[in-house]
Amino acid sequence: NQNRLPYSNVTITNPLITDSSNLILRLEMGDPKLLVPYWKMMSDKCSVVIEGWKFMSHESDASNVCQYMLPELGDAIKRIHSLVHNAAIQDKHIIVGTGSTQLFHAAWFALSSSDSVRPINIVSAAPFYSLYLDGVKALRSGLYQWAGDAATYDKDEPYIEMVTSQNNPVVRSASQGKLIHDLAYYWPQYTPITHHADHDLMLFTFSKCTGHAGSRIGWAIVKDIQVAKKMVHFIQVSTTGVSKESQIRAAKILGVVCDSYQSLGPKGSEHFFDYGKRLLRERWDRMRQVIGQCEVFTVAKPSSAYCNFTKESFETNSAFAWVKCEGGIEDCGTYLKNLGILARPGRLFGVGPEFARISMLSTNDEFDELLTRLLNARREYN
C-alpha cells in the first residue's frame, strides 16, 4: 500500500497518509510540527523534572517589573538574543506572556488610554496576522478598535500599528502612530538576520523560535517602563502571571539551543537554526517546483539578503505559503478545500479571496501529501 509521488522519489508508507484520500489536511494553523524530529534527536537533553513542592507561588522575583518571570527564563531570553543578534535588549524590560497572543492584547491595553473619549484605532498592513483582527473584534473593548489596512489608513488621529516582520514590514510614517513590532519570525531558520532590531515594543514567541507552540510562552521587549508596567498589570488581571512549568521548560530548551552553538553534539549533528533553515529551504524548493508544474497557483518571489548570523545570503523561507489562484478561480480557500487542503482564506488577512495561506510547518508526511494534492489540482484543471 504505497504511493509513489510523481515529483520526487519519496515513498509514503505511513498508513495514516495512504488511507487519507478523504482526510482533510489541516494547514490553516501554523503548528510548527516540522521540528519534532530535531527535538526527538535531542532526547533527554531537554527533559525537565519538577518536584511537587516547586513553583507553588505566583511570584518569582519581586525586584523585577515582571515579578512572575522566572530569572532562569529572563536569562535564557537574553542569551538567545545575544547569540542571534536579532534584538537589542540592553536597558529594556522583558515581559513574559502566555504566548505572544496574550502579549499583543497586553500591548494594546498598555498603549491605549482610559482617559480618551474614543477608542484608539489599531491598523496593520495587509496581509496581516488574522488574530489581530479576531482579537480586537472578539473583545469589543472600549479602549481600542480595529481600523483595517495600515496602507489605506488616512485618519488624522492617534493609532496603534502592528508591524509583522516578514509579512508586512510596511510602516506608516505619521508621527501619531505607536508601533508594535511582532517579530515572531525574525529567527534565522525563516529569514536573514539583517539588523539588530531596536524598537520600542517588540514581541517574540517560543512557538516560532524553537517550535514549542504548546508551551504557550512569548516575551515582549519593552523600552518604556510605564508601558512595561501596564502590560504586566494586564497579565496580572487576566491570568495572574504565566505558568512556571512552561517558563522553566522554555528556559531549558532555549538554553539547549545556545549550548549547542558552544559545542556541537555527536558527529553529523546540526545546529538548531541550520537544521530548521535546511528543512524549510528543501520544502520551499519542492513547493515551488510543484506550483510551477501545476499551473493553477502562484507564490510571490522571496527576497534575499545577507544574514549576519549564518554569514551568508539566502532567500526568506516563510513559515506560510501565500498562494494565489490564477486562471479565473475566484475563491482560493474553497478551491483548496475541494482538493482536501484546509488553508486560511485571504479575507481573514485583509486581502482578496484569490489568496489563501498554507502552513509550511506541518509534519513530513502531511507536507508530502500537500504536494500530491496540489499536483492533482493540475490534473483537474487541465
Minimum distance between the CB of residue 353 and ligand PMP, rounded to whole angstroms? 21
213 binds ligand PMP (CB under 6 A): yes
201 binds ligand PMP (CB under 6 A): no
120 and 143 Cβ atoms separated by less than 8 Å = yes
- DSSP state, residue 119: P
Judged by CB under 6 A, the residue of 161, 182, 365, 369 near ligand PMP is 182
Region near ligand PMP per CB under 6 A, out of 93-101, 114-122, 173-181, 290-298: 93-101
Closer to ligand PMP by Cβ: residue 319 or 339: 319
C-alpha of 120 from chain center: 26
The candidate with the shortest Cα–Cα distance to 316, out of 185, 203, 207, 205, is 185
14-22, 135-143, 205-213, 300-308 -> range binding ligand PMP (CB under 6 A):
205-213
- Asked if 218 is part of the footprint of ligand PMP (rule: CB under 6 A), the reply reads yes
> Is residue 121 close enough to count as binding ligand PMP by CB under 6 A?
no
Using the rule CB under 6 A, is 350 a contact of ligand PMP?
no
Q: Decide if residue 215 touches ligand PMP (CB under 6 A).
A: no
Contact 319, 359 (CB under 8 A): yes
Please identify, using beta-carbon distances, which residue of 128 and 335 lies nearer to ligand PMP. 128
Contacts of 122 (CB under 8 A, 6+ apart): 108, 132, 136, 144, 145, 146, 147, 159, 160, 161, 162
To ligand PMP, the closest distance from the beta carbon of 9 in angstroms equals 32
**Nearest distance, CB of residue 100 and ligand PMP, angstroms:** 4
Least CB distance to ligand PMP at residue 121 (A): 20
The stretch near ligand PMP (CB under 6 A) out of 77-85, 99-107, 255-263, 359-367 is 99-107
For position 191 contacting ligand PMP by CB under 6 A, the verdict is no
The conformational region for residue 139 under phi > 0 = left, psi -120 to 50 = alpha, else beta, is alpha
Nearer to ligand PMP, 17 or 346 (CB): 346
- # chain residues binding ligand PMP, by CB under 6 A: 12
**Euclidean distance between CA atoms 215 and 207, whole angstroms:** 8
Cell of residue 55, nine digits: 513553583
Distance, in Å, from the CA atom of 341 to the CA atom of 256, rounded to the nearest integer, reads 35
The DSSP-derived string for 293-348 is HH-SEEEPPPPEEEETTTTEEEE---SEEEEEE-TT---HHHHHHHTTEE-EEGGG
DSSP β-ladder status, 120-124 and 217-222 = unpaired
Our CB check for ligand PMP shows the closer of 74 and 294 to be 74
> Which residue in 66, 68, 94, 99 binds ligand PMP (CB under 6 A)?
99
Cα 351 from chain centroid (whole Å): 19
129 near ligand PMP (CB under 6 A): yes
Q: Which is nearer to ligand PMP, 146 or 381 (CB)?
A: 146
Taking the C-alpha atoms of residue 172 and residue 154, their distance in angstroms, rounded to an integer, is: 10
In the complex with ligand PMP, the residue whose CB is nearer, 207 or 260, is 207
Residues that bind ligand PMP (CB under 6 A): 30, 99-101, 129, 164, 182, 184, 205, 207, 213, 218
